[in-house]
Amino acid sequence: MAELAFRAILGIATLCSMTAANAEVTNAAENGFTVQHQREISGDNEAVWKAMIAPSRYWNSDHSWTGDAENFYLVPQAGGCFCELIRTMSDDNIKSSDGSVQHMRVIYAHNNKMLRMSGALGPLQGEAVTGTLTMLLQPQDDTTLVRFTYKVGGYMEFPIDQMAPAVDSVIGDQLARLSALFGDSETADANAQDGADEEDGSKETSVAKGPDQD
User: Which pTM does this prediction carry?
Assistant: 0.76
Within a 13 Å sphere around the CA of 72, how many CA atoms are in the beta-carbon half? 22
162-181 residue pLDDT tens: 999 999 999 999 999 999 99
Tell me what percent of the residues of the chain surpass a pLDDT of 70: 71
190 exposed, middle or buried (CB, 10 Å; 0-12, 13-18, 19+)?
Answer: middle
Q: In this predicted structure, which of 5-14, 30-39, 48-57, 58-67 has the lowest mean pLDDT? A: 5-14
User: How many other C-beta atoms lie within 10 A of the C-beta of residue 89?
Assistant: 9
126-153 residue pLDDT tens: 999 999 999 999 999 899 999 999 999 9
What interhelical angle do 160-180 and 45-52 show, nearest 10? 120
Q: Are 139 and 118 in contact (CB under 8 A)?
A: no
From start to end of the chain, where are the E strands?
A: 25-29, 32-41, 72-74, 81-89, 95-110, 114-118, 128-140, 143-155
Amino acid at 118: S
Instruction: Round to whole Å and give the CA distance between 24 and 88.
Output: 37
Please report the domains of the chain, with CATH numbers, ordered by start residue: 2-197 (3.30.530.20)
46-83 residue pLDDT tens: 999 999 999 999 999 898 888 899 999 999 999 999 99
